[in-house]
Amino acid sequence: MAAKVMKAARCPTDELSLSNCAVVNDKEFDVEKIRHVAVRTGPTDKFIFTLKSHSSVVPGTIAFSLIQRKWASLSLNQEVEVTPYRFDPNTQYLSSVTINVDFLQKKAANQDAFDTDKMAAEFLMQFSNMALTVNQMMVFSFADKKLLQLIVKDQEAADLAVLKGGQSSGKAKKIQTGMCMSNTTIIFDKSPDSPINLTGKSKGKSARQSIINPDWDFQKMGIGGLDREFSDIFRRAFASRVFPPEVVEALGGKHVKGILLFGPPGTGKTLMARTIGKMLNAREPKIVNGPEVLNKYVGESEANIRRLFADAEEEQRRCGLNSGLHIVIFDEIDAICKQRGSISGSTGVHDTVVNQLLSKIDGVEQLNNILLIGMTNRRDLIDEALLRPGRLEVQMEINLPDEAGRKQIFEIYVARMRDNGKLAPDVDIDELSIISKNFSGAEIEGLVRAAQSTAMNRLIKASNKVEVDPEAAEKVMVTKNDFLNALENDIKPAFGHQAEVFESYIQNDIISWGDPVHRVLDDGKLLVEQTKVSEKTPLVSVLLEGPAMSGKTALAARIAESSEFPFIKICSPENMIGFSESAKCQAIKKVFDDAYKSQLSCIVVDDIERLIDYVPIGPRFSNLVLQGLIVLLKKPPPKGRKLLIIGTTSRRDVLEEMEMTNSFNTNIHVSNLSKPEQLMNALELLECFSKKELDSIAKKVDGKKLWVGIKKLLVLIEMARQTDEEVRIPKFLSLLEEEGGLSMSYV
């Protein structure tokens, strides 16, 4: 658009004067498209103004306030050249502005305290997207205080390379003219010799954090292992808030209004939400627990929701696009946002609360100055209408930390001990991060506390009264053994290895009585390695089938334990006694859901025919549990996760009829002892009889037919050992024959 020659005029109203904009007739410029103009007052003098329109301005003139005419040395009716002006987003968006402030009229001076934090927030609401130039003079009406005179003293350009995936140059660039953005840092200084009393953090050189600060150190905030999650949240939720509204409008974009953080308990969801609230250039976050919203009085629960958004509504009506960001943090959001209609026999309060929340976030009169952050470990319970784009749009799974994440978390919690010389040199954080597989952030914190307690307990004197040696207390040191003791005895990961349970299944160890046992263990190792290494088979499943009491469960437990996977769990019918069909399905599904949270997992599904309630009379079984198991056995784990399933059964024929064996990738047969030499190998390994007794047994069983499970054999051996020595061997052989494990006929 070509330049126009116009005449300088007075600003038509006081309200327009306080806007600090140049005002033209609405027929001269389309202020929706042309937001800023360059006004040339002489051959070398050019000033940048933000533009407004008003019908009372005479066409052909451009109106300025008194202070603007003073700054630009303009006289009334002076001819000026007016040209549309556009700011370069790469070099002219302001990251910080330093402003000198004084009373507009000296006689109005007083000693009232002016809160610079509130002044900065109000300045951004009034003057966001305003053209600012060094030495520019402005008028500022703050609250009910007197009018203030502002003079721009210093400006720095924003480094937008960070938003494009680059790195910060680290050096601020000073510029003469730029555009104030909604997240520009405003710093107020007293004008020389001014009596004004400034308070708050935005005074002098103390600047506020912008929305995205590339140098922000999350570890100082007590957060570790969540770098990728923070990066993804900033990219999705905050990048649009860095740019001025017209840029977002030009893209046709909208701000993200909601974030849902979900995942296992103790992984840092609440801590992350609170940190986001603290580090953003926004209003003080409102933090509320989901159950606190509910009230026994009719309509009060919905009113509580409305109160949370009242300040944001009032500010949006008053300031429009320049309104500040209001953050509402909902902990345990699943408590109030359950699926509508899912609670039978309820009063419907939950449904109306969900409706009220939906209308506030993205209803007919939608708010654009809010950010709702919800946390839950039961994402499946939340109403699906709340999860669609435009509401809780960014859904971030906060999962168990990996090895690097665990190291970060350990470093955070031992930092103070290390700084004060209370951490022994033998404590290796790298080693601790390796052996603490599947520990959440909260469990790592508990582990450090337990190690500290162990260290302090060494200094307590056990006498008639509890005493601590003052001199020894000064020398308290947390050592490697304290951490190892806490790992072994005090803190166990919720999604980890059930060591005690597995020990109970292998309490007699694995008796390698022959090639059949070696073959099962070797095939098991291959399957474990396949699960670890192969990218084509994230789900590996094997069925160990064989006669009852042949040691299938013990072999499955040994394969699982030797895998050293972070998550190992046994799904056994003994843990589901008395469960209804639906409760049993939920319990089995929970085991699988927990396994999906770990990078590498192994599930032992023990005694499948008992799990599905099979009995030969009828025959009868639970079809609901059967169908659920078949689905779970075939369901691949989420992307990036790997799962090994080891099933055991004594009734392969039954599972074949139910078409369940096809759900496993492969089958491995577990055999009974069938040869005399296998029996003798087992007896020698068990060291339960003397050499003379073994020779006697070998003569008796030589050439005989044998068929006995290793578990049955262990029971028979212990029964025989309870008798007198002279009758021990005859008793053992008699028991073996009576139980059908030994036939007196020859092979």
With beta carbons less than 8 A apart as the criterion, state whether 236 and 394 touch.
yes
C-alpha dist (Å) from residue 37 to 24, 247, 406, 723: 11, 18, 55, 108
Look up 607 and say whether it is catalytic.
yes
- 678 closest CA partner among 696, 716, 704: 704
Catalytic residue among 153, 700, 711, 731: 711
Helix (H) or strand (E) segment spanning residue 326: strand 326-331
Catalytic residue among 52, 552, 642, 704: 552
Catalytic residue among 278, 461, 634, 635: 634
In sign, the C-alpha dihedral spanning 305, 311, 316, 322 is negative
Catalytic residue among 116, 184, 376, 553: 553
Helix (H) or strand (E) segment spanning residue 199: strand 197-199
Q: Where are the alpha helices (DSSP H) in 646-687?
A: 652-657, 676-686
With beta carbons less than 8 A apart as the criterion, state whether 424 and 480 touch.
yes
The total of other beta-carbon atoms located within 10 Å of residue 634's CB is 13
Look up 649 and say whether it is catalytic.
no
DSSP 735: H
**Edge-first strand listing for the sheet containing 258-262:** 286-289, 326-331, 370-376, 258-262, 394-397
Distance of CA 133 to the CA centre of its chain: 43
Catalytic residue among 606, 642, 649, 704: 606
Amino acid letter for position 407: K
Look up 552 and say whether it is catalytic.
yes
DSSP-based three-state secondary structure for 130 = coil
Q: Judging by beta carbons within 10 Å of its beta carbon (0-12, 13-18, 19+), is residue 546 exposed, middle or buried?
A: buried
Amino acid letter for position 506: I
Q: Which residues pair with 81 in a beta bridge?
A: 5, 40
Catalytic residue among 203, 331, 607, 661: 607
Return all residues near 238 (Cβ < 8 A) that are at least 6 apart.
211, 212, 256, 280
Q: Write the DSSP string, 45-65.
A: -EEEEEEEE-TTSPTTEEEE-
Amino acid letter for position 538: P
C-alpha dist (Å) from residue 556 to 457, 527, 548, 559: 40, 12, 14, 5
With beta carbons less than 8 A apart as the criterion, state whether 455 and 477 touch.
yes
Look up 634 and say whether it is catalytic.
yes
With beta carbons less than 8 A apart as the criterion, state whether 707 and 735 touch.
no
With beta carbons less than 8 A apart as the criterion, state whether 373 and 261 touch.
yes
Q: Which residues are catalytic?
A: 552-553, 606-607, 634, 711
